């Protein structure tokens, strides 16, 4: 991987392992000094294949330090200080399913399970009756279904599963499950931390948990009791937390309905709401403002009260976003991973630099790693791990992104050159314009005359395959089948009159007798009922082996009249077979 010109050599490539086998999102990556020796470690919740191989991995430098299995998919991971004990070593909280698993010193320490949700009392009653054998499974099903239709509280997993069962499996299911109490559980969708009472770097933090049931909980870090519960209109997907729990805090939550809500200390309902035009993909706070990346390839800035400040269009869909905060330099910006294998750095709406990557980035984390403050850690879609270090000399010029004239303005228009032929023709027209015009008009009228004459002739001698005479309105088309030497000739005759039948018709053929032999050169046509198509068939044999073909003329005649009603010319195909003599 070479340093591309666009990032201006601002980053040192510290490490790249394309086969690290690390599949993760930004929400499952964190940096923390886990052993208290002043060296930060990388903690990653690895999603594995999505159904198996979920692991909690810790990296130190370029090496994998430890690895422990997770029971379920990690939906979020944070490092936080849970107590005031010395040495100051942060714990790691992994949100997974309905639980938060807390690790201390890389050992399992505590598991917190979300409290169960409210269970529908009607549902409980129904199952109670089932347990006591008062109702059979079919009645149970009916009752549950009626509860599902009207109830405000959704049914439990057990009832839902029961409703989807076949009739003969129901009894067994009821026997198996009826003894247990009904529970409704929800899962954690995102997790964050909130300082308890001090803003210190190593102050004790509360865990903030967003759940599938659209709630946000704030947990006490020591007793793991719920300090505060807030409710959102939709399940949260990402959150950003700032402030202190005891003083004032602000939780910015992106939700699954495409809105962003801002929660504050005093209220358990969202204080502000931002309706976005598309789903938020990334949510990052920079100073007091919130930067949101949307799935319509845009990056938008909002104040902490939800007022839109700016919007900029990105070259590709966003895959992930993270904040880049260098307090020593007073530098804050947003890193945006894009689907076109780029990571772009934005300060407000201005693009500062671009990093090209060999694969699509799925997670970004910027912070102190090892003993280096400005480290950028990225994992790729293919499971790679990439570490870059910001050069101490790197400076990001805050140039305004207002572009000059677009490049296309200097592209020459594709206008063909003037040719000598063109000039000659132009001159000729200038000199002889009148003559050309008159010749053209003359020829035009001659052509029209010729066309009109031909048309009249065709009409007069019934050469057309459609007859529009009032007494016998007919239509005919012909189909030739076969490769030769014998062909099947089908004439489809139709009477197009509204109600009058046509009778006393005959068909005769005119052809070169040295070339073709026909079985029935003269045929009578039966009475034609209006609208129906009458196929009239005959066989033609080609007598020549010279590979030539000719036209066969078909005439539809009225008995007793010599002038044909219709004429069709059939272009016979060349006979491809040889005569068998």
Per CB under 8 A, 281 contacts other proteins: yes
Q: Considering the complex, what minimum distance in angstroms separates the CB of residue 77 from other proteins?
A: 13
Q: Considering the complex, what minimum distance in angstroms separates the CB of residue 167 from other proteins?
A: 14
> Among 38, 87, 416, 535, which residue interacts with other proteins (rule: CB under 8 A)?
416
Q: Considering the complex, what minimum distance in angstroms separates the CB of residue 577 from other proteins?
A: 48
CA distance 162 to 160: 5
Per CB under 8 A, 270 contacts other proteins: no
Per CB under 8 A, 116 contacts other proteins: yes
* Binding positions for other proteins, 507-566, rule CB under 8 A: none
Query: Regarding beta strands 205-211 and 188-195, do their DSSP bridges make them parallel or antiparallel, or are they unpaired?
Result: antiparallel
Residues 429-468 vs other proteins: string with x where CB under 8 A?
Answer: xx--xx-xxx-xxx-xx-----------------------
CA distance 196 to 249: 10
Q: Considering the complex, what minimum distance in angstroms separates the CB of residue 309 from other proteins?
A: 11
177 close to 170: Cβ distance less than 8 angstroms = no
> Among 121, 128, 134, 180, which residue interacts with other proteins (rule: CB under 8 A)?
180
* Binding positions for other proteins, 302-321, rule CB under 8 A: 311, 317, 319
Per CB under 8 A, 67 contacts other proteins: no
> Among 277, 447, 450, 527, which residue interacts with other proteins (rule: CB under 8 A)?
277
Per CB under 8 A, 160 contacts other proteins: yes
- Considering only the stretches 57-65, 186-194, 527-535, 553-561, report the one whose residues sit in contact with other proteins under the rule CB under 8 A: 186-194
Q: Considering the complex, what minimum distance in angstroms separates the CB of residue 415 from other proteins?
A: 5
Q: Considering the complex, what minimum distance in angstroms separates the CB of residue 328 from other proteins?
A: 33
Q: Which is closer to other proteins, CB of 401 or CB of 469? A: 401
Per CB under 8 A, 158 contacts other proteins: yes
Phi and psi at residue 170, to the nearest 5°: -65, -45
* Binding positions for other proteins, 23-42, rule CB under 8 A: 25
> Among 2, 52, 167, 409, which residue interacts with other proteins (rule: CB under 8 A)?
409
Burial (Cβ within 10 Å: 0-12, 13-18, ≥19) of residue 372: middle
Q: Considering the complex, what minimum distance in angstroms separates the CB of residue 108 from other proteins?
A: 6
> Which tokens in the block code for residue 156?
């439990």
Per CB under 8 A, 21 contacts other proteins: no
Angle at 286 between CA 280 and CA 291, to 5 degrees: 20
Measured in whole angstroms, the distance separating CA 145 from the mean position of its chain's CA atoms is: 35
CA distance 117 to 137: 25
Q: Among 236, 316, 529, which Cα is nearest to 251's?
A: 236
SS3 254: strand
Per CB under 8 A, 113 contacts other proteins: yes
- How many residues lie near other proteins (CB under 8 A)? 90
> Among 152, 266, 460, 559, which residue interacts with other proteins (rule: CB under 8 A)?
152
Q: Give Cα separations from 475 to 307, 335, 492, 537, 568 (angstroms).
A: 75, 75, 8, 16, 10
* Binding positions for other proteins, 348-367, rule CB under 8 A: none
In 3-state terms, the chain is what percent helix, strand and coil (to 5)?
Answer: 15, 45, 40
> Which tokens in the block code for residue 23?
């599949």
Per CB under 8 A, 186 contacts other proteins: yes
Place of tokens 């931002």: 274
Q: Considering the complex, what minimum distance in angstroms separates the CB of residue 190 from other proteins?
A: 7
Per CB under 8 A, 58 contacts other proteins: no
Q: Considering the complex, what minimum distance in angstroms separates the CB of residue 495 from other proteins?
A: 35
Per CB under 8 A, 212 contacts other proteins: yes
Q: Considering the complex, what minimum distance in angstroms separates the CB of residue 142 from other proteins?
A: 16
**CB count, 10 Å around CB of 350?**
17
- Considering only the stretches 134-142, 401-409, 495-503, 557-565, report the one whose residues sit in contact with other proteins under the rule CB under 8 A: 401-409
- Considering only the stretches 34-42, 123-131, 150-158, 516-524, report the one whose residues sit in contact with other proteins under the rule CB under 8 A: 150-158
60 close to 41: Cβ distance less than 8 angstroms = yes
Q: Considering the complex, what minimum distance in angstroms separates the CB of residue 71 from other proteins?
A: 5
Per CB under 8 A, 267 contacts other proteins: no
Q: Give Cα separations from 355 to 340, 359, 361, 376 (angstroms).
A: 11, 11, 11, 11
Could you tell me which residues come within 8 angstroms of residue 560 by beta carbon, excluding any fewer than 6 positions away?
504
Q: Considering the complex, what minimum distance in angstroms separates the CB of residue 310 from other proteins?
A: 8
Q: Which is closer to other proteins, CB of 233 or CB of 547? A: 233
Which helix (H) or strand (E) segment is 146 a member of? helix 137-150
Per CB under 8 A, 300 contacts other proteins: no
Residues 228-247 vs other proteins: string with x where CB under 8 A?
Answer: -------x-x----------
> Which tokens in the block code for residue 50?
């999505």
CA distance 355 to 437: 67
Q: Considering the complex, what minimum distance in angstroms separates the CB of residue 431 from other proteins?
A: 10
Per CB under 8 A, 167 contacts other proteins: no
Place of tokens 């690790």: 103
* Binding positions for other proteins, 368-397, rule CB under 8 A: none
Q: Which is closer to other proteins, CB of 33 or CB of 72? A: 72
259 close to 251: Cβ distance less than 8 angstroms = no
> Which tokens in the block code for residue 368?
């102190």
Place of tokens 């666009």: 6
Burial per residue of 237-255, b for 16 or more beta-carbon CB atoms within 10 angstroms, e otherwise: bbbbbbebbeeebbbbbbb
Could you tell me which residues come within 8 angstroms of residue 512 by beta carbon, excluding any fewer than 6 positions away?
550
């Amino acid at each position: 991987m070479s340093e591309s010109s666009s990032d201006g050599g601002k980053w040192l490539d510290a490490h790249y392992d394309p086969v690290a086998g690390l599949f993760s999102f930004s929400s499952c990556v964190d940096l923390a000094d886990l052993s208290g020796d002043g060296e930060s470690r990388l903690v990653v919740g690895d999603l594995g294949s999505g159904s198996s191989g979920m692991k909690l991995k810790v990296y130190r430098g370029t090496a994998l330090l430890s690895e422990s299995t997770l029971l379920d998919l990690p939906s979020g991971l944070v490092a936080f200080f849970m107590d005031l004990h010395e040495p100051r070593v942060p714990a790691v909280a992994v949100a997974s399913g309905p639980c938060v698993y807390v690790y201390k010193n890389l050992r399992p320490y505590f598991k917190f399970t979300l409290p169960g949700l409210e269970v529908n009392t009607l549902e409980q009653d129904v199952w109670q009756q089932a347990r006591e054998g008062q109702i059979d499974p079919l009645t149970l099903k009916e009752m549950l279904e009626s509860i599902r239709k009207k109830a405000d509280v959704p049914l439990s997993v057990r009832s839902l599963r029961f409703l989807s069962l076949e009739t003969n499996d129901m009894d067994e299911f009821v026997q198996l499950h009826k003894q247990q109490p009904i529970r409704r559980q929800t899962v954690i969708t995102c997790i964050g931390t909130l300082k308890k009472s001090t803003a210190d770097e190593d102050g004790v933090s509360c865990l903030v948990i967003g759940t599938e049931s659209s709630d946000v909980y704030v947990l006490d870090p020591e007793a793991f009791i719920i300090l505060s519960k807030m409710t959102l209109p939709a399940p949260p997907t990402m959150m950003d937390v700032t402030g202190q729990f005891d003083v004032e805090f602000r939780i910015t939550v992106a939700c699954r309905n495409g809105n962003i809500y801002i929660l504050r200390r005093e209220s358990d309902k969202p204080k502000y709401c931002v309706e976005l035009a598309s789903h938020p993909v990334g949510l990052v706070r920079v100073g007091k403002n919130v930067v949101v990346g949307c799935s319509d390839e845009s990056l938008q800035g909002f104040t902490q009260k939800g007022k839109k400040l700016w919007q900029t269009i990105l070259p590709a869909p966003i895959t992930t976003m993270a904040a880049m905060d260098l307090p020593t330099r007073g530098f804050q910006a947003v890193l945006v991973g894009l689907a076109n294998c780029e990571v772009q750095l934005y300060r407000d709406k201005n693009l500062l630099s671009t990093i090209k990557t060999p694969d699509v980035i799925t997670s970004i984390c910027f912070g102190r790693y090892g003993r280096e403050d400005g480290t950028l850690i990225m994992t790729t879609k293919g499971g790679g791990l990439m570490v870059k270090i910001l050069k101490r000399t790197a400076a990001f010029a805050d140039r305004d992104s207002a572009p000059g004239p677009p490049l296309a303005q200097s592209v020459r228009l594709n206008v063909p050159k003037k040719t000598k032929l063109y000039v000659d023709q132009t001159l000729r027209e200038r000199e002889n314009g009148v003559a050309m015009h008159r010749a053209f008009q003359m020829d035009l009228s001659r052509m029209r005359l010729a066309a009109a004459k031909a048309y009249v002739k065709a009409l007069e001698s019934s050469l057309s395959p459609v007859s529009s005479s009032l007494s016998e309105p007919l239509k005919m088309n012909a189909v030739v089948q076969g490769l030769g030497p014998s062909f099947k000739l089908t004439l489809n005759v139709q009477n197009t009159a509204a109600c009058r039948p046509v009778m006393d018709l005959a068909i005769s053929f005119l052809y070169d007798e040295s070339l073709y032999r026909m079985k029935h050169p003269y045929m009578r046509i039966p009475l034609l009922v209006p609208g129906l198509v009458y196929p009239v068939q005959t066989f033609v044999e080609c007598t020549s082996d010279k590979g030539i073909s000719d036209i066969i003329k078909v005439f539809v005649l009225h008995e007793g009249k010599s002038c044909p009603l219709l004429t069709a010319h059939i272009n016979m195909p060349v006979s491809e077979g040889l005569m068998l003599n």
